[in-house]
Structure 1
Amino acid sequence: MPTTRPVTTWSMAQTSPQDLRPSRVPDSSSGIRIERAAVPSPEFSRFLYTAVGGDISWTDRLPWSYARWQEHLARPGVETWVAYEHGTPAGYVELDPQDEGVVEIVYFGLLPAFQGRGIGGHLLSCGTARAWDLAERWPGREATRRVWLHTCSKDGPHALGNYERRGFRVFETRTEEEPDVPAPGPWPGA
């Protein structure tokens, strides 16, 4: 019988663009820039997913085929925004518009080497601001009325605090036993 561990999940939301409390913008000498990955690329998206989530047990998309990645990324309104430091990918945020003016921040995080340096606050601020403006880019979509996400106790130690500092509020907390599976790392044995 596999072992389990308690995992707490916090569902969080903003209900107005005025809820967003942006972080400081890194100065230009930092080499930090945020850019939309405008060409849907299953290879690049899977790289970001495994590089950011490998150490914290993101496993739900690991079995996805190339075609499944392509289908997901081609959906209208799905956007991936990438933080770079001097040209090197540092992290990403994935936005997924849903019905009735709701946008979910489906994935957000930094590669381990870039954590704890203030990049995450800036990336989350940019991604959240973009979620509030998403309807402008996709005509026919209802204006954003709510931006939400969830984070859990498996995420990095700064995750919950970063979301709270950006103005997200907890609307649901739950703790469940989950299988204690080893984190896959960005590649086997990493």
Structure 2
Amino acid sequence: MAHPSDYARPQQGEPVEHVQVTVVFLRMLEPPLGRPVAWPAGVSVEKASLSVAEYRQIYDAVGHEWLWWMRRLMPDDMLAEHLSRATLDIRLLKVNGRIAGFYELDASYWPYVNLNYFGLTPEFIGQGLGGTFLRHAVLAAFEGAVGLRGLLVNTCSADHPRALPGYLRAGFVEYRREVEQWDIPTRLGLAVPEHLRG
């Protein structure tokens, strides 16, 4: 099965930004202990079935500042096929009916589940929602998953600086780091921080 990032390639000869990132790979092999997630009034998490346009809008809202670009290069038909897979579980975080974030669990890596994407929209960062939302994602991955060997996620030096500490606090353990070179098409309009320019 082709991984979605296989299709995230610039067109030949198009202008690109050369980006160097350190990618940190993490895993959680046992479900965490503790209580189920409890949300305050007005906050909820909903299972979502999204159209390509809806997905693109949420993906960009959450990831624009953190250089989320690979899914933006996926053609609509390939993204639609990805979104239709029974192994995919997308949940939306809502605050008083407004989308505040999303996560995407992918069981096509079975017996592991991959947390493909996780994040909040900019206006809801720093309001104490991220840690609880991440715990929700972890519990959802392990819930009823007989035979699951672990939950995987990766983050990188382009992500929010609190991403890696947040994953470690949630119980993930780092097991590998790699330096990657990205060629991000300038047509995407993403602002590349100076410290990431390769």
The alignment's TM-score, normalised by the length of structure 1, stands at 0.81
Is 1:83 the counterpart of 2:87 in the alignment?
Answer: no
* Secondary structure of residue in 2 paired with 1:157: coil
**Residue 8 (structure 1) aligned to one of 5, 22, 43:** 22
- Which of 111-120 and 101-110 deviates more? 111-120
Partner of 1:161: 165
Per the TM alignment, residue 114 of structure 1 is displaced from its structure 2 partner at its CA by: 0.9
Shift of 1:184: 3.2
Q: 1:33 touches 1:84 (CA, 8 Å); kept in 2?
A: yes
**Gapped regions of structure 1 (runs ≥ 5):** 136-141, 186-190
Q: Residues 88, 7 of structure 1: CA spacing in aligned structure 2 closer, same or farther, 3 A cutoff?
A: same
How far, CA to CA, are the matches of 1:64 and 1:100 in structure 2?
23
Measure, in 2, the Cα distance between the counterparts of 1:50 and 1:184: 11
1:149 paired with 2:153, answer yes
In structure 1, give the amino acid aligned to 2:135.
Answer: S
Contact 1:12 1:150 in 2 (8 A): yes
Q: CA deviation at 1:87?
A: 0.5
Distance 2:134 2:184 in 1: 28
- 8 Å CA contact 1:84, 1:91 repeated in 2: yes
| Pick aligned residue for 1:65 from 75, 94, 104 | 75
1:35 partnered with 2:40: no
Give the structure 2 partner of residue 138 of structure 1.
none
Residues 147-178 of structure 1: CA distance to partner in whole angstroms, max 9, x if unpaired? 00100011012111110111001010123444
Q: C-alpha separation between the residues in 2 aligned to 1:10 and 1:21?
A: 26
TM-score, normalization by structure 2: 0.78
Distance (whole Å) between structure 2 residues aligned to residue 72 and residue 122 of structure 1: 27
Write out per-residue CA displacement over residues 123-152 of structure 1, whole angstroms, 9 at most, x where no aligned residue.
1111111111263xxxxxx62111001000
Q: Is the 8 A contact 1:5 1:177 kept in 2?
A: yes
Q: Is the 8 A contact 1:54 1:184 kept in 2?
A: no
Deviation at 1:61, TM superposition (A): 1.1
Unaligned runs of 5+ in 2: 1-14, 191-198
**8 Å Cα contact 1:23-1:122 kept in structure 2:** no
Question: 1: CA distance between counterparts of 2:35 and 2:125?
Answer: 18
Alpha-carbon RMSD: 2.5
Asked whether the 8 Å contact 2:31–2:142 carries over to 1, the reply is: yes
Q: Deviations 1:101-123 (Å, cap 9, x if unpaired)? A: 10000011111111111111111
* Aligned-pair identity (%): 30
